[in-house]
């Protein structure tokens, strides 16, 4: 018998929810990612709960136990139970009657086996009691021990229920897997065309999480080999991603945002539209791309130290190793201040001539490696006026 000893089981709020819902004899279990992560020794964020109680019964039991409820997804059998100011999603056991892609006709069930067979991967179909006893209806424990990512049942059927599961397969492989089930991988390749029916926002959400994994290079390489990567990121080139991961580890890049850098390496031209990036995320990709066209200190001066650092790491992954002292050079570029303002050139200059003069002087300042003094820059700015 496998038993969890995870700290989250001692959470008073969780204990209160589990006790309230099981007060009349309903089966109440922790399910999915919390169980998976605890068994792997990974951090546990959210704790989801599955129960044989129907949604209306869940609400009655929770409120009888002094807890507040919110019917966040009651049409799908999900109620959020609030304890100590935190929400726990509680979903009733269900079984599929008919499926139509993401839409399905479901019926409530009293059997954990029915509920488990609706889930995506075997390592996500693990349940635990309040005392930590692990229940494994679909053989997920051996897969988890082997870090093997396998669909529950027929992978073609699971994917057809929601084609986004193709990307979830690669994302979970990046985070938790060492071995990709070959039948699962084949199904992802064969059914990849179904991703065209998935919104770019949902695809973008998965890609962000995938690229945030400690080392997504193998999963992304398999995406490329299976034809999935070019569908979701046209023009993507994953050939240097593994090198980038090594560079990140070598240079200690943990303080910088991870997925934007990796995305900029993969697909510098098409990512914003393909993944429906936000305005700020698109601007970040544009800044990284611009930084890649500039010497690193100049990039730090014009765009900021963080974007310049991203470009240095990407260049290193492409084989252009940074010079000794590059961090100091970035700091120096970021700290450089152009000593002229428009007021310094007025009233001698105005309008377009004023802008051109400032641009000319700043270009000279940058070309001088930020060393030209203010007086020299004034002469450069006013030289055209003097000729006139």
- pLDDT-derived band of residue 359, with 50, 70 and 90 as boundaries? very high
Domain-embedded: residue 372: yes
Full domain range(s) for residue 30: 1-145
Handedness of CA 319, 321, 322, 323 (dihedral sign): negative
Half-sphere exposure at residue 57, Cβ-oriented, CA atoms within 13 angstroms:
16
Domain end position, chosen among 111, 145, 179: 145
User: Is 383 among the domain residues?
Assistant: yes
User: CA of 141: how far to CAs of 131, 137, 147, in Å?
Assistant: 18, 10, 10
Q: Three-state SS across 29-85?
A: EEECHHHHHHHHCCCCCCCEEEECCCHHHHHHHHHHCCCEEEEEEHHHCEEEEEECC
Closest CA to 69 of 10, 19, 21, 127: 21
- The answer to whether position 309 is within a domain reads no
Kindly state the average pLDDT of the residues 155-177: 96
Dihedral angle, C-alpha 5, 46, 30, 168, nearest 10 °: -110
pLDDT in tens, 2-43: 999 899 999 999 999 999 999 999 999 999 999 999 999 999
Compute the distance between CA of residue 143 and CA of residue 157 in angstroms, rounded to an integer. Answer: 19
In a domain, 358, yes or no: yes
Confidence category of residue 270, pLDDT binned at 50, 70, 90: confident
Please check the confidence at residue 105 and state whether its pLDDT lies above 80: no
- For residue 91, what is the domain's CATH number? 3.30.460.10
What is the arithmetic mean of pLDDT over 66-87?
A: 93
**Of 145, 166, 184, at which residue does a domain stop?**
145
Position 244 in a domain:
no
166, 190 Cβ separation under 8 angstroms: no
Domain membership of residue 168 (yes or no) is: no
pLDDT at position 136 is 97
pLDDT at res. 384: 63
212 domain residue, yes or no? no
Tell me: the pLDDT tens digits for 200-239?
A: 999 999 999 999 999 999 999 999 999 999 999 999 999 9
DSSP conformation letters of 76-112: GTEEEEEETTEEEEEEE-EEEEEEETTEEEEEE-S-H
Cut 0.85: pTM above it: yes
Report the pLDDT value the prediction gives residue 388, as an integer from 0 to 100. 47
DSSP assignment, residue 120?
Answer: S
Region of residue 235 (left: phi > 0; alpha: psi -120 to 50; beta: else): left
How far is it, in rounded angstroms, from Cα 307 to Cα 317? 16
Q: What are phi and psi of 323, to 5 degrees?
A: -70, 160
Q: Are 203 and 236 in contact, with CB atoms under 8 Å apart? A: no
Domains contained in the chain, number: 2
201 in any annotated domain: no
Mean of the per-residue pLDDT values of the chain: 93
Look at residues 89, 122, 145 and tell me which one is the last residue of a structural domain. Answer: 145
Side by side, which strands form the sheet with 28-31? 68-73, 78-83, 86-92, 48-51, 28-31, 127-128, 134-135
């Amino acid at each position: 018998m496998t038993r969890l000893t995870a700290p989250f089981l001692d959470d008073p709020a969780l204990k209160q929810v589990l006790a309230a819902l099981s007060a009349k004899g309903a089966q109440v279990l922790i399910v999915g990612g919390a169980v998976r992560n605890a068994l792997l020794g990974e951090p546990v964020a959210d704790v989801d709960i599955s129960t044989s109680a129907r949604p209306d019964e869940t609400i009655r039991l929770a409120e009888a136990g002094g807890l507040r409820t919110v019917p966040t997804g009651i049409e799908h059998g999900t109620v959020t139970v609030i304890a100590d100011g935190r929400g726990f999603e509680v979903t009733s056991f269900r079984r599929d009657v008919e499926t139509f892609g993401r839409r399905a006709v479901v019926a409530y069930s009293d059997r954990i086996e029915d509920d488990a067979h609706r889930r995506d991967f075997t390592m996500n179909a693990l349940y635990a009691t309040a005392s930590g006893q692990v229940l494994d209806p679909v053989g997920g424990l051996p897969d988890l021990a082997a870090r093997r990512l396998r669909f529950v049942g027929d992978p073609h059927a699971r994917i057809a229920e929601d084609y986004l599961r193709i990307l979830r397969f690669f994302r979970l492989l990046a985070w938790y897997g060492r071995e990709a089930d070959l039948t699962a991988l084949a199904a992802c390749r064969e059914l990849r065309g179904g991703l065209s029916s998935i919104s770019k926002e949902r695809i973008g959400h998965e890609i962000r999480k995938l690229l945030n994994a400690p080392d997504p290079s193998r999963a992304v390489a398999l995406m490329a080999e299976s034809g999935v990567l070019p569908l979701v990121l046209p023009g993507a080139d994953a050939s240097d991603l593994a090198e980038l991961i090594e560079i990140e580890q070598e240079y200690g890049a943990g303080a910088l945002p991870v997925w934007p850098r990796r995305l900029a390496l993969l697909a510098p031209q098409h990512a914003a539209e393909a993944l429906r990036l936000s305005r700020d995320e698109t601007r970040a990709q544009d800044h990284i791309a611009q930084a890649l066209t500039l010497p690193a200190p100049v990039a730090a001066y014009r765009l900021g130290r963080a974007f310049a650092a991203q470009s240095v790491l990407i260049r290193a992954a492409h084989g252009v190793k940074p010079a000794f002292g590059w961090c100091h050079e970035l700091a120096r570029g970021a700290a450089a201040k152009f000593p002229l303002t428009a007021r310094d050139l007025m009233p001698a200059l105005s309008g377009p001539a004023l802008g051109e003069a400032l641009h000319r002087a700043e270009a000279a300042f940058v070309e001088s490696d930020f060393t030209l003094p203010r007086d020299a820059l004034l002469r450069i700015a006013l030289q055209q006026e003097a000729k006139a």
